[in-house]
């Protein structure tokens, strides 16, 4: 249906002089939204740039030195020592480790719950699950971090018998609590957007409800469900407080999920307070921030792309 013509244009009522000023402000405010996103990139990038351009910083650290093995073949992150070392590898391994654990837990739970909510749950159950997930989304991440460190870590250590309390399993479970709401919400929206006719057609052909859900609804909503997973991954990579509090913060290169680790986000949070303004360490931490920004930006962009693709697929119209 074409949109109805705008009455303001039809009537050609001219704005009065004062109104022109107000309308200018309103228009600028929309521009500010775009400018802010650009400013985030510019101001984080600006402080990260000396790592690439300043010879003074190069005396202590260069980008290639952050990825190459250090003297003696090690990869360590020790920015505050007589001879500072900045290897990205421990942080990369730590971030990948905790993100993997969190996604392994969060994705099946959130997508499964979304499928149940949209396909099988009676209305009454739906009205419990949705607010509960909203409640979970409303818990500040510092509270989840507190819970992971104080309660969850002890339970897990008793159950698994790990040597260190704070490890990638503890932090990953905590992190999954922050990822579940976003994955659930986006996936559930996608599944509910599948037209009822798809289900009716499938049931009329003799399929039962789970076959319909698995073979018809899920494939139809797939771009949206995939988008949910990508957006969840973006959230997991960037989340700070939970990982900062429950990771143990040991910068080790170990793939073992029961060992302490350190992530990009937690490193920034833990060290920026002590890094003197303008020091090589300071610029390196901003570089990590810029890196984090770019990764999450790309993940979000990809996620939104798939959401639009789903909308196009189901509604058959341009985004």
Partner 1 sequence: MSRWIRIVGAAFTGLTGAACLAILTMVAVILGDIALHGWPHLSWEFVSTAPSANLAEGGIFPAIFGTVALVLLMTVAVVPLGVAAAVYLHEYAPPGSRFVHVVRLALQNLAGVPSIVFGLFGLGLFVRFTGGGVDRLFFGGALTFGQPCILWAALTLAVLTLPTVVVATEEALRAVPRSYREAAYALGATRWQVVWHVVLPQSVGGMLTGAILAVSRGAGEVAPILFTGAAYYLPHLPSRLNDQFMELGYHVYVLTTQSPDVEATKPVLYSTVFVLLGVTFLLNLAAVLVRSGIRRRLRQT
Among residue numbers 260 through 319, which ones bind partner 1 (CB under 8 A)? 265, 268-269, 272-273, 277, 285-286, 289, 292-293, 296-297, 299-301, 303-304
Among 52, 67, 143, 255, contact with partner 1 (rule: CB under 8 A): 143
Between CA 264 and CA 291 the distance in angstroms is 9
Residues 6+ apart with CB under 8 A from 95: 237, 263, 264, 265
- Considering the rule CB under 8 A, would residue 219 count as an interface residue with partner 1? no
Among 49, 63, 78, 147, contact with partner 1 (rule: CB under 8 A): 147
- Considering the rule CB under 8 A, would residue 170 count as an interface residue with partner 1? no
Among 1, 17, 26, 82, contact with partner 1 (rule: CB under 8 A): 26
- Considering the rule CB under 8 A, would residue 75 count as an interface residue with partner 1? no
Among 79, 145, 223, 248, contact with partner 1 (rule: CB under 8 A): 145
Vertex 189 angle, CA 242 and 30, to 5°: 75
CB half-sphere exposure, 138, CA atoms < 13 A: 6
Among 66, 88, 93, 231, contact with partner 1 (rule: CB under 8 A): 231
Structure tokens at 222: 């797939």
Between CA 213 and CA 280 the distance in angstroms is 55
Between CA 270 and CA 267 the distance in angstroms is 5
Do the Cβ atoms of 203 and 256 come closer than 8 Å? no
Structure tokens at 68: 């190459």
Question: Rule CB under 8 A: which of 97-136 touch partner 1?
Answer: 108-113, 115-117, 119-121, 125, 128-129, 131-136
- Considering the rule CB under 8 A, would residue 201 count as an interface residue with partner 1? no
Among 40, 63, 193, 253, contact with partner 1 (rule: CB under 8 A): 40
- Considering the rule CB under 8 A, would residue 164 count as an interface residue with partner 1? no
Q: Which residue has the tokens 């986006």?
A: 186
Instruction: Identify which of 280, 272, 276 has the alpha carbon closest to the alpha carbon of residue 50.
Output: 280
Question: Smallest distance from the beta carbon of 202 to partner 1, in angstroms?
Answer: 13
Between CA 268 and CA 287 the distance in angstroms is 10
- Considering the rule CB under 8 A, would residue 202 count as an interface residue with partner 1? no
- Considering the rule CB under 8 A, would residue 92 count as an interface residue with partner 1? no
Q: Which is nearer to partner 1, 14 or 83 (CB)?
A: 14
């Amino acid at each position: 249906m074409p949109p109805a013509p705008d009455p303001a244009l039809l009537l050609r009522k001219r704005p009065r002089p004062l109104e022109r000023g107000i309308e200018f402000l309103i228009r600028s405010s929309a521009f500010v939204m775009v400018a802010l996103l650009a400013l985030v990139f510019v101001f984080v990038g600006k402080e990260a740039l000396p790592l690439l351009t300043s010879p003074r910083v190069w005396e202590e650290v260069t980008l290639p030195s952050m990825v190459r093995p250090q003297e003696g073949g090690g990869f360590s992150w020790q920015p505050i020592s007589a001879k500072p070392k900045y290897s990205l590898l421990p942080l990369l391994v730590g971030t990948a480790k905790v993100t993997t654990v969190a996604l392994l837990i969060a994705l099946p739970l959130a997508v499964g719950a979304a499928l149940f909510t949209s396909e099988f749950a009676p209305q009454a159950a739906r009205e419990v699950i949705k607010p509960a997930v909203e409640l979970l989304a409303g818990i500040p991440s510092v509270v989840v971090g507190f819970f992971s460190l104080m309660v969850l870590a002890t339970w897990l250590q008793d159950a698994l018998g790990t040597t260190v309390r704070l490890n990638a399993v503890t932090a990953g479970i905590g992190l999954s609590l922050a990822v579940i709401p976003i994955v659930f919400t986006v996936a559930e929206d996608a599944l509910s957007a599948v037209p009822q006719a798809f289900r009716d057609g499938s049931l009329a052909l003799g399929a039962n409800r789970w076959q319909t859900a698995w073979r018809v609804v899920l494939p139809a909503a797939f771009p949206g469900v995939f988008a949910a997973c990508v957006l969840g991954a973006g959230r997991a990579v960037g989340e700070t407080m939970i990982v900062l509090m429950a990771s143990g913060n040991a910068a080790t290169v170990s793939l073992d999920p029961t060992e302490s680790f350190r992530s990009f986000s937690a490193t920034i949070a833990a060290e920026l307070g002590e890094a003197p303004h303008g020091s090589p360490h300071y610029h390196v931490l901003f570089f990590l921030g810029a890196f984090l920004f770019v990764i999450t930006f790309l993940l979000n962009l990809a996620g939104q792309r798939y959401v639009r693709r789903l909308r196009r697929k189901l509604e058959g119209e341009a985004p």
